[in-house]
Amino acid sequence: MKVSIIVPVYNVEKYLERCLTSIIEQNLKDYEIVIVNDGSTDGSLQIIQQYQEKFPTIIRCLQKENGGISSARNMGLEAAIGEYITFLDSDDYLEKDSYAKIEKIAEKGKYDIILFDAYKVQEQTKEYYPANPKIKQGEITKEEYMLSLPCVWNKWIKKECFEKNGKLRFSTAVTIGEDITAMLSLAPIVEKIYYLPIPVVCYVQTPGSLMRKKGYQERRKQVIQALQELENNLQGKYTQEIEYLYYEHVLVELSLYLYQYEHYTEINQIADFMKCHFPNWKKNQYIQKAGKKKMLYASLFYYKKYSMLQKMQKLKHIFRRKPNVK
């Protein structure tokens, strides 16, 4: 059983060696590393060539003009020959011997997707990052999968799943949320999913990454388009889960992001969208269990109570002040 590890690369010379070394040291039985160089202009290509010369039977390098991570992943998918596919971003790396544990489960061939955990790594911290803290090891339902982290790097997926019902590929129309669409669109296609709660990937929060860039980014709103594409792909299935995803990623997370920059008109549009498409969201079983704090934020955005939100934040700031010590 071969696994294809697809690594898109664009100007990551600072991190690439760490990433590739962490794969090669995994002690896997049968694997290939499919590196897609997405038009890098730094020293990334030279590093790839060095590794390819050293490990010619393991590493393949594909070249393309810069077109974004989705197009790079799609090229890797077309070229991959493994029974299982997994993805690793080139600024991330693997925990020692973690893939070998996934391989043992994959060898049985029973599961279409094997889901696992990660570490979220910043400069001075390493925080456990579960795929879904509410599920236990073993076979999980598709509904539980739908509510797990929709990342590309915390799964091994049978390649045949990408070829069913027409080819499932990453959307090149969005640059944020494309993994949500692709990974969760697998739900009606696959049959069995296994969850192994061990940290496998070290998900590195690099300062220059798309999600951590300073200043307002218009494309953050593309998560709405990504969810709409997902909803269209699911064709009326998993309605409760879809409603929760809009709540989580749009009404809460995107609204909080827009609120930082006082984009109240756009938050109003989100509230109007939810009133039109999901008027009964408060009755959703997953939302009711998601926590009171998140529900409070969602309600304030939904009813456009910005002055109340500002008062709350001022009170929070006051209570956080250190008392005077005499």
Residue that finishes a domain, picked among 208, 226, 252: 208
Q: How many domains does the chain have?
A: 2
Does 226 fall in a domain?
no
175 and 49 housed in the same domain: yes
197 and 75 housed in the same domain: yes
Range of the domain at 292: 238-320
Residue 325 has pLDDT above 50, yes or no: no
d(CA 251, CA 227): 12
pLDDT given at position 250: 98
Residue 321 has pLDDT above 70, yes or no: no
Does 150 fall in a domain?
yes
pLDDT given at position 185: 97
pLDDT given at position 314: 73
Give 111-155 pLDDT, tens digit per residue. Answer: 999 999 999 999 889 999 999 999 999 999 999 999 999 999 999
Q: Which amino acid is at 323?
A: P
pLDDT given at position 166: 80
Of 208, 210, 201, nearest to 18 by C-alpha is 201
203 and 247 housed in the same domain: no
Residue that finishes a domain, picked among 208, 227, 258: 208
pLDDT given at position 315: 66
Does 54 fall in a domain?
yes
87 and 168 housed in the same domain: yes
Does 178 fall in a domain?
yes
Question: Please, which residues bridge with residue 257 across strands?
Answer: none
Of 156, 114, 157, nearest to 137 by C-alpha is 114
For residue 40, which phi and psi values (nearest 5 degrees)?
A: -60, 145
Does 144 fall in a domain?
yes
Average pLDDT taken over every residue of the chain: 93
d(CA 70, CA 169): 8
d(CA 83, CA 59): 17
Give 14-59 pLDDT, tens digit per residue. Answer: 999 999 999 999 999 999 999 999 999 999 999 999 999 999 999 9
Report the predicted TM-score, pTM, of the whole model to 2 decimal places: 0.92
Cβ atoms of residues 123 and 209 within 8 Å: no
283 and 195 housed in the same domain: no
Give 2-11 pLDDT, tens digit per residue. Answer: 999 999 999 9
Say which CATH number the domain at 161 has.
3.90.550.10
158 and 268 housed in the same domain: no
51 and 151 housed in the same domain: yes
148 and 244 housed in the same domain: no
Residue 215 structure tokens: 């200043």
Alpha carbon of 193 to those of 47, 190, 325: distances in Å? 36, 8, 56
137 and 56 housed in the same domain: yes
Q: How many CA atoms lie less than 13 Å away from 320 in the CB half-sphere?
A: 6
Binned at pLDDT 50, 70 and 90, residue 212 comes out as: low
82 and 151 housed in the same domain: yes
15 and 151 housed in the same domain: yes
Does 218 fall in a domain?
no
pLDDT given at position 208: 60
Give 305-318 pLDDT, tens digit per residue. Answer: 998 988 887 766 54
Residue 186 structure tokens: 């697998």
Does 289 fall in a domain?
yes
pLDDT given at position 209: 58
Q: How many CB atoms lie within 10 A of CB 57?
A: 6
Does 250 fall in a domain?
yes
28 and 80 housed in the same domain: yes
Q: SS3 sequence, the chain?
A: CCEEEEEEECCCCCCHHHHHHHHHCCCCCCEEEEEEEECCCCCHHHHHHHHHHHCCCCEEEEEECCCCHHHHHHHHHHHCCCCEEEECCCCCEECCCHHHHHHHHHCCCCCCEEEEEEEEECCCCEEEECCCCCCCCEEECHHHHHCCCCCCCCEEEEHHHHHCCCCCCCCCCCCCCHHHHHHHCCCCCCCCEEEEEEEEEEEECCCCCHHHCCCCCHHHHHHHHHHHHHHHHHCCCCHHHHHHHHHHHHHHHHHHHHHHCCCHHHHHHHHHHHHHHCCCHHHCHHHHCCCHHHHHHHHHHHCCCHHHHHHHHHHHHHHHCCCCCC
